[in-house]
Chains A and B, each alone.
Chain A
């Protein structure tokens, strides 16, 4: 009974085509038609500019917290560009560029981050899931979608995104395992942006790569330069083709960097150095692609102005969104309202019907009483069940 080695040594491929200085490995350069390249470039620019605009809107209090994508445009667009309209895209919460590519209107994304669920409603024919916030929990959904596609005999492929932090979650491993066992058409795109809020990759995993995690589940994993849109495009095209051909799942690790904060509530200077950020800024995916497009003679004049105007229109449309009364919160809790929920809805409706008069009374009340304390709105009638403040 000797000790024998039953697993072959594995290797992980790292793919890079266009380096940080715009140097091209022409042997690997994909034959992407010029019009498609222009579309990709425009989408990258739009992703960047929209992200910057969202940050300003957030700082002005016009939208709430969101997760900026700056630096990850190539990882998102190089991958999503390989999907068909009939394929599925399952985002986590930092895939604004992928969502824009899939046809989510900017005003809807703004609406979502302004706290309105209407912004998370995919269009009737859109095969995308909305933003998913609990880390890694969207991954099993993608596997289920892929299983369903296979079950129905559709040739749809599912592309699902997560980050490096997600690879520590149980749902990541369960999803990968199910995908391998069921041999379903799913492409896992891990945007390894080096940081999960303040936790660097080396504290997240002791694996040499994230790509190699796929091997344990019986399907290929590949690592690509995630700031190289051409490399991401090539790896993703291969993975999508494999999935569509019935050859099962693939994991693509896009090595990239979050140039901004985790979310707008975070201050990354607390946990990482300016030198590190500067080093990654030199590898900016957009700069690199601009150089490439310039060399190919494909840069279009006036593109930035066009994109900015498009964003401005979307912001205006978002801000002109008419107010909808909060009763809509009862519309989609269930397909049909139970009697108890209908009663809660009726209660709110009655409250809302009273509200204008109360609002007017409150507005008319003095803002402060003589002793400097805020005055209770004592002249307005109390709501049902509400007691008047006790006065000595």
Chain B
């Protein structure tokens, strides 16, 4: 057991999966000697050599495209796209190929690969370094889309993603990389992909969040308990796709109210699918309209104004209170 931040926890997952399976390799820009711009792949190069921890040329499409080829051969590449904002340059390889080879070859080949990408705002970064694009991937059949919310589940989910027979988009919230340390067991831990977690139980309102927004949800829930005497249940999705509809519905059947928080812009975002899913699974239990607290439907606003754009505790509190008094 060690106290690790998310960077170290992810590094541990990579190290252990590479030790147990020689087919796992790491590929990306600056992932080798430099250990990744966020240090997630630190020291792996020294331990496993440049054939397994590959500093690639600077070209996202070929990082993903070549990894698709490696996966078709039977290797298990873990690709790093330096920032999710640059993944549009490989989006076609992800959508056209990584997601489809199993179907296209009717099961003869699959793409067992993980595409790691730092995402999200709150770190005062430039354009293309702060956005949340999970909805694009969650919409693609053939992909899985995972977003951990802390060091321990990040480590366990990454190990599971590497072992998953299907391609997994693995978003890492930059705001969480160094935000907190957690006890992470030394022995390998995995976590089922496709399962949400009740982060804390409650009976009055379901707050749905994932990634960096789980922190905002927790703080909001604390405030609502202290200031309003309200018990909020937080559902931490962990996997965006496939969505754990049952856990969502079960929670709302109990609470009757739901507020969804995400950093992605609102329209056609994950909140829409989550809300529809709650409607389908818990319509007769709903006591109030489902609310969404999200970024606004505007392009990148510049980091000087990003706090006004991203969901924060006051906005979540307001949405919860309106939902509770409806």
Contact surface of A with B, Cβ cutoff 8 Å: 117-118, 120-122, 124, 129-130, 132, 134, 137, 139-149, 151-152, 170-171, 174-175, 177-178, 181, 331-336, 338-341
Contact = CB atoms under 8 A, between A and B. Distances in A.
Contact of A332 (B56, B89, B102, B246): B102
Contacts of A137: 65, 92-93, 96-97
A333 B110 CA distance: 10
Given A134-B92, A334-B102, 20 more contacts: A121-B106, A129-B109, A137-B96, A140-B66, A141-B68, A141-B72, A144-B72, A145-B69, A145-B70, A148-B69, A151-B70, A152-B75, A171-B62, A178-B56, A331-B107, A332-B103, A333-B102, A334-B165, A335-B165, A336-B165
B122 interface: no
Contacts of B56: 178
Interface string B229-243: 000000000000011
Interface string B27-56: 000000000000000000000000100001
Interface in B150-177: 165-166
Contacts of A341: 242
A45 B91 CA distance: 40
A140 B61 CA distance: 8
B202 interface: no
B59 interface: yes
B62 A145 contact: no
Is chain A's binding surface mostly helix, strand, loop or mixed? helix
Given A122-B105, A151-B51, A143 B69 contact: yes
A144 B103 CA distance: 20
B242 A339 contact: yes
A170 B194 contact: no
Contact of B166 (A140, A143, A145, A334): A334
Nearest to B110: A335
A95 B277 CA distance: 45
Nearest to B246: A339
A143 B96 CA distance: 17
B244 to A, nearest CB: 8
Contacts of A149: 73
Contacts of A178: 56-57, 59, 62, 66
A251 B55 CA distance: 24
B242 A121 contact: no
B141 interface: yes
Nearest to A339: B246
Interface string B64-95: 11111111111101000000000001001100
Given A137-B96, A140-B66, A152-B73, A174 B61 contact: yes
A146 B69 contact: yes
Interface residues of B, number: 44
Given A141-B97, A174-B59, A174-B61, A338 B194 contact: yes
Contacts of A170: 59, 61, 89
A87 to B, nearest CB: 12
A106 to B, nearest CB: 18
Given A120-B105, A151-B25, A335-B102, A144 B59 contact: no
Given A134-B96, A332-B107, A139 B59 contact: no
A140 B242 contact: no
B104 interface: yes
B7 to A, nearest CB: 27
A71 B142 CA distance: 37
Interface in B261-296: none
A85 to B, nearest CB: 16
Residue in A117, A152, A177, A338 with the greatest tally of chain B CB atoms within 10 Å = A338
B242 A338 contact: yes
A260 B65 CA distance: 31
A168 to B, nearest CB: 14
B165 A339 contact: no
Nearest to B239: A338
Contacts of A130: 104-105
Contact of A147 (B69, B93, B103, B110): B69
Contact of B106 (A117, A139, A145, A151): A117
B51 A142 contact: no
27 contacts: A120-B104, A120-B106, A122-B105, A137-B96, A140-B64, A140-B68, A141-B97, A144-B71, A145-B72, A148-B69, A148-B75, A151-B51, A170-B59, A170-B89, A174-B57, A174-B65, A178-B66, A181-B57, A332-B105, A333-B102, A334-B142, A334-B166, A335-B110, A335-B166, A338-B242, A339-B246, A340-B243
Contacts of B65: 137, 139-141, 143-144, 171, 174-175
Contacts of A171: 61-62, 65, 93
A344 to B, nearest CB: 10
